[in-house]
Amino acid sequence: GAGVSQSPSNKVTEKGKDVELRCDPISGHTALYWYRQRLGQGLEFLIYFQGNSAPDKSGLPSDRFSAERTGESVSTLTIQRTQQEDSAVYLCASSWTSLYNEQFFGPGTRLTVL
């Protein structure tokens, strides 16, 4: 079946503009995660959705970042008033709800803020 997909694959924007990144999880996966990965760096947790529960937003770096997910489907990550330090690859992952949950990652969106 289809894996996790993300769009766009690449996004170049100007400083100060808003961007919206999309993640389509694997069908049936109730958990969805967003991570940021700067060049050569680790996976920085941003936000976690679990079913209809309130999301864990503890990783969002500032109030310019927000994310939504409707039910157990598509999620969008929005970055307002982008800054150059927002440049990174944004990875989405999804998993089943279970005690032991392998996360399946999407290909990522490479964001470049000029």
Angle at 80 between CA 76 and CA 84, to 5 degrees: 110
Look up residue 56 and give its amino acid. Answer: D
Query: How does DSSP classify residue 84?
Result: G
Pairing mode, strands 10-13 and 109-113: parallel
Provide the mask over 11-50, with x wherever binding to another protein is found by CB under 8 A and - wherever it is not. --------------------x-x-x-----xxx-x--x-x
Minimum distance from residue 35 beta carbon to another protein (Å): 8
Which residues here bind another protein, judged by CB under 8 A? 31, 33, 35, 41-43, 45, 48, 50, 56, 58, 91, 95, 97-103, 105-108
